[in-house]
Amino acid sequence: MLVSFQIDHPDSLNYRTDSTLPIILESQKRGFKNYVFQPHNVFMNNKGIFAYANQIKFKSQSLNSFIISNEKILNLNNCKFLFIRQDPPFDMTYITSLHLLELLSKKVRIVNDPKGIRNAPEKILMLQFSRIIPPTLITRSLNEIKKFSNKYNSLIIKPLYGNGGESVFLLEKKDKNFNQIVENFLNKSSEPFILQKFIPEVKKGDKRVLIVNGNPVAAVQRIPKNNDIRSNIHVGGTVVKTKLTKNDLKICDAIKEELIKNKLFFVGIDIIGNYLTEINVTSPTCIQEIKKLSKIDVSRKIWDELLV
């Protein structure tokens, strides 16, 4: 059985924290043959959808023991499963690959569904659930930002399509650099950006909850470094063991139907205090951290659920 993965280049993956490698290793344990490729490797012709791909194989149970074979042309319709798991942000190469992968035979199970991913950018899908997210503004208007700031005083401002805690700032009404921070966002990109009311509980970190086939399976608390407002592991955040609370389960239940409808099989959501702050559908992380802290093997749960 063939299983392929559209991912970032394997050389760029951190085997200590990456969440795709455990999924691939678990696939190999079950006897599947695995291939990896990047979005720009996908192409179509009158015979179908293909990718220039490399077989990936682990020599042991260690996640840094993988070897990559020479590149070959892989007919993606021959795959039983195909995972889409490279990091955001979106670009047109990535979007094009999603359109092409959407043309594959229905016999190929794609995790997550290309159309579902395309229609669910991390910080936009959550807007459908206004009752459980912080007060939020998406704009490029300085005037709207000032009105929002007058109402809430302390805000978080960040790119709409960023990831890993990149360019996340605390924006306060009385900050002498208020205009400069906003101007930097305006000059850096032509895209809108997102602002949310600052949630004081962020000082205690955020909770990453992993959801498989609509159901929460595990969680971890990410703690910011020193006085940083960002708890992402990419920027030095640490992780501690945690449990799902009644409020966490209510949030998961509120979004379950939408995830299933859009065929978003493996999802990671972020919760700060009582609020949902992101729904991550492209490449949810923290599989390794959860396994170390809570002994829950999420990669095994993913395959158990897929092979029912």
What pairing do the DSSP bridges indicate for beta strands 154-159 and 136-139? Answer: unpaired
CA 266 and chain centroid, separation: 9
In terms of Cα–Cα distance, which of 138, 183, 135, 180 is closest to 159? 138
What pairing do the DSSP bridges indicate for beta strands 33-37 and 2-6? Answer: parallel
Q: Could you give the 3-state DSSP secondary structure of residue 262? A: coil
| DSSP for 187-223, written as a single string | HH-SS-EEEEE--GGGGG-EEEEEEETTEEEEEEEEE
Any idea which residues carry the catalytic annotation? 123, 158, 208, 222, 230, 270, 278, 280
- Cα separation, 223 vs 226, whole angstroms: 9
Radius of gyration for the chain, computed over Cα atoms and rounded to the nearest angstrom: 20
Structure token pair of residue 265 = 């099989």
Please state, as a whole number, how many other Cβ atoms lie within 10 Å of the Cβ of residue 27. 23
Q: Could you give the 3-state DSSP secondary structure of residue 82? A: strand
Q: Are 142 and 182 in contact (CB under 8 A)?
A: yes
| Residue 243 backbone dihedrals phi, psi, to 5 degrees | -125, 160
Structure token pair of residue 76 = 């993606």
Structure token pair of residue 270 = 């972020």
Task: Please give the C-alpha separations between residue 92 and each of 39, 102, 113, 167, 188, in angstroms, as whole numbers.
Answer: 10, 15, 17, 22, 18
